[in-house]
Amino acid sequence: MSTQEFSSPRSEYTHIRVSPLTLNIGAEISGVDLGAPLAPEALAEVSAAFVDWKVIFFRGQNLDHAQHVSFARQMGEPTIGHAVFGHEDEFPEVYSIAKHRTANSIRGASMARAWTDWHTDITAAINPPMASILRGVTIPPFGGDTLWTNLAAAYRALSPALQSFVEGLNGIHRFEAPAEPDAKKDYAELIEKRRLESVHPLVTVHPVSGEKILYVSPAFLQEIEGLAPRESQALLEFLWEHSVRQDFTVRFKWQPGDLAMWDNRSTAHLAPSDIFQTDFDRQLYRITLVGETQRGTDGRASRAIAGLPILSAREELALAQSS
Ligand SMILES: O=C(O)CCC(=O)C(=O)O
Ligand SMILES: [Fe+2]
């Protein structure tokens, strides 16, 4: 990338401090206490930094569940904890990111490639969450870092010829249990209970920044509509490998009490796998915010093949009670 092509995220911040961690993605925010409601000016700047830097980090906030929920409500409408895997009993908005959660029970079943396990949260839904807010509670002394990648930078780094080719394509995103015989039964049953499958443009337009996004969530995107199977697989493998290139990524070393908030419309992320090589525990909690249907560069919208949109915690609970 030439220096002329690089446009640094541009907002001016006067009520918060924003310290970028890399050229393309990730900034630490200081000068705010998330345990109490933010002043409108600070909230507006946090929202701007979130879109500009795509993942923002707040050190040492030490929030409890209730404070986590009330911060999330200032940023948007919290979804049900996890549409497939459930939520904390007393806090329907909160999903436990425990080391040995059900979602991790199928680990190790497949061949690891550069993009393995990278994902954008729940892109199998027609309206994937717009943001995820993750809070660290128990953090190993070393290991357990999380990585994010900037999918707008990934799009910009493609050649104009490939950019215009992929803009016309749609991806089929599916939540599915691996075909391996050792795929755990309760994992497969939960996925079957809320089957989610959607078609999204392969290049989306960010509703706030207007940036074009290479929307290729590796763990959910299964095929490209209209291509022959080998064409689809070869192109996806190229796009996945490209989208996790080191210069688009940031790696975060957690401390207990830290909070990360990412723009789920413009990033993918990777949960650590090194934690399974040690006995160290690791416990985080996540809240996601209700998202919208994606749009392609020509304005075309996502389509659901299976499954309802992911609604707010309130609406999901009401639905569950009435069924
Ligand atoms: O464990 C992590 O660091 C991230 C887990 C994850 O994928 C998520 O919270 O969406
Ligand atoms: Fe995730």
Between CA 245 and CA 239 the distance in angstroms is 10
- Whether the per-residue pLDDT at 8 is higher than 70: the answer is no
Indicate the residue type of 73. Answer: R
Q: Which residue's CA is the closest to the ligand 1 atom numbered 7?
A: 271
Break the chain into its structural domains and give their ranges. Answer: 3-311
Rounded to whole angstroms, how far apart are CA atoms 256 and 17?
21
What tens digit of pLDDT does each residue of 259-277 get? 999 999 999 999 999 999 9
231, 230, 190, 199: which is closest to 217 by C-alpha? Answer: 199
Topology annotation, domain 3-311: Double-stranded beta-helix (3.60.130)
List the residue whose alpha carbon is closest to atom 6 of ligand 1. 271
Q: Which residue, judged by its Cα, is nearest atom 1 of ligand 1? A: 271
Mutate to test the pocket of ligand 1, among 97, 120, 137 (most ligand atoms within 8 A of CB): 97
Does position 10 have pLDDT exceeding 60, yes or no? yes
pLDDT digits (tens, 9 = 90+) for 64-114: 999 999 999 999 999 999 988 889 899 999 999 999 888 887 766 568 899
Pocket-testing residue among 118, 269, 280, ligand 1, by greatest number of atoms within 8 A of Cβ = 269
Angle at 129 between CA 263 and CA 117, to 5 degrees: 75
The pTM assigned to this predicted structure is 0.94
Q: Which phi-psi region, left, alpha or beta, contains residue 128 (left: φ > 0; alpha: ψ -120 to 50)?
A: beta
Q: What is the spatial distance between Cα 244 and Cα 161, in angstroms, rounded to a whole number?
A: 20
The residue with tokens 């490939």 is: 162
Asked if residue 136 lies in contact with residue 259, where contact means CB atoms within 8 angstroms, the answer is: yes
Summarised one tens digit per residue, pLDDT across range 121-141 is: 999 999 999 999 999 999 999
Tens-digit pLDDT profile for residues 207-257:
999 999 999 999 999 999 999 999 999 999 999 999 999 999 999 999 999
